[in-house]
Amino acid sequence: MASLRVRQILLEVLAFDQPDPPRPDTVWGRLCASVTRSVPVTGAGVALMTPEGHGGTLAATDGPAAVMENLQQTLGEGPCLTAFHDRRPVLEDDLARATGCWPGFAPEAAGSGIAAVFAFPLQVGAIRLGVMDLYRDTPGPLDSLQLAEALDHAAAAATILLDLQYDAAPGGLHPQLADAADSHRAIHQATGIVTVQASVGIGEALLLLRARAYADRRPLLELSEDVVARRVTFHPEDDHHE
């Protein structure tokens, strides 16, 4: 049974009445706004996750939070993937020390003003659904009360995800999750196209796709959409790409 605090959070973010000023117009936006009010962090993001990795961003409070999610999706590394695969919170209070863990993500995120990241897996029993990422623009840990508040918000987010999927059509995704999942499908489709164009396996094709996105400083989804539309190709004669 959900704790009293988790129930309070659910009531807050699921309420339909709009105060003045109005709140973000999705439950995920309201959840991110709630956690940044309740925990001393600069911003937040919520990501849908799949066994293959980052499955798409459900919400991000600001530019650095969006960069945080895009980088993890593009690079295939970062605190949200570690939290998801290890099934535990990842509490990195000084990102400058984390280049050994995430050699691509850590310096790029730091360059966007992210100094600390706290990632919480959204899971119910054995069911893993997503990750809630919090960031600070200065280094520093969460104390025990702040950590408890963040964990309660993560529990609320997991409850919402599970309830949405319970209401979804068999074999499908709830509309509130479908947009994020569409990005994962586009990346998967682009990866398949690259396997044919570059004559490589799926794993290497995804690495090629991520490397091109990183080199061009573009979100992986944006590049994937160009690959699907044939605006970008990975034929052998394209090896001269800078």
CATH code for the domain in which residue 220 is found: 1.10.10
Is the pLDDT at 240 greater than 60, yes or no?
no
Does 151 lie in the same domain as 218? no
Residue that is last in its domain, among 167, 186, 208: 167
Q: Give the Å distances, CA to CA, from 151 to 60, 117, 146.
A: 18, 14, 9
**pTM strictly above 0.85:** no
Same domain, 34 and 58: yes
CA distance 190 to 184: 10
Reported confidence tier of residue 205, pLDDT bands at 50, 70, 90? confident
Distance separating alpha carbons of residues 108 and 23, to the nearest angstrom:
30
Q: What percent of the chain clears pLDDT 70, i.e. is strictly above it?
A: 84
Q: What is the pLDDT of residue 27?
A: 87
Two tokens at 181?
A: 């999942």
In a shared domain, residues 131 and 159? yes
Q: Distance between CA atoms of 32 and 46, rounded to whole angstroms? A: 8
- Check pLDDT > 60 for residue 48: yes
Residues 146 and 211 in one domain: no
Report the range out of 58-72, 77-91, 177-191 with the highest average pLDDT: 77-91
The Cα–Cα gap between 130 and 152 comes to 15
Dist. CA 160–CA 116, nearest whole Å = 26
User: What pLDDT score does 209 carry?
Assistant: 86
Name the 3-class secondary structure at 45. strand
Same domain, residue pair 46 and 78: yes
The model's confidence at residue 46, banded by pLDDT at 50, 70 and 90, is very high
pLDDT of 56: 85
Asked whether residue 19 falls in the same domain as residue 110, the answer is yes
Residue with tokens 């969006």: 66
Average pLDDT over residues 161-180: 62
Helix (H, G, I), strand (E, B) or coil at 227: helix
Q: Where are the beta strands (DSSP E) in the chain?
A: 43-50, 53-60, 90-92, 116-124, 127-136
50 and 144, same domain (yes or no): yes
> Which domain range does residue 234 map to?
175-240
- Whether the per-residue pLDDT at 242 is higher than 50: the answer is no
Q: Which of 32-41, 47-56, 80-89, 140-149 has the lowest mean pLDDT?
A: 47-56
- Domain stops at, among 167, 199, 229: 167
Collapse the DSSP code of 167 into the 3-class scheme (helix H, G, I; strand E, B; otherwise coil) and give the result. helix
Local confidence band at 164 (pLDDT 50, 70, 90 cut-offs): confident
Compute the average pLDDT of residues 169-198. Answer: 70
Looking at the structure, tell me whether residues 92 and 157 fall in a common domain. yes
If asked whether residues 162 and 179 sit together in one domain, one would say no
123 and 19 within one domain: yes
Per residue in 132-146, pLDDT (tens digit) is: 999 999 999 999 999
Share of the chain above pLDDT 90, in %: 49
**Dist. CA 230–CA 238, nearest whole Å:** 13
Q: Residues 67, 153: one domain?
A: yes
| 145 and 219, same domain (yes or no) | no
Give how many domains the chain has, as a whole number.
Answer: 2
Dump pLDDT digits (tens) for 106-136.
999 999 999 999 999 999 888 888 999 999 9
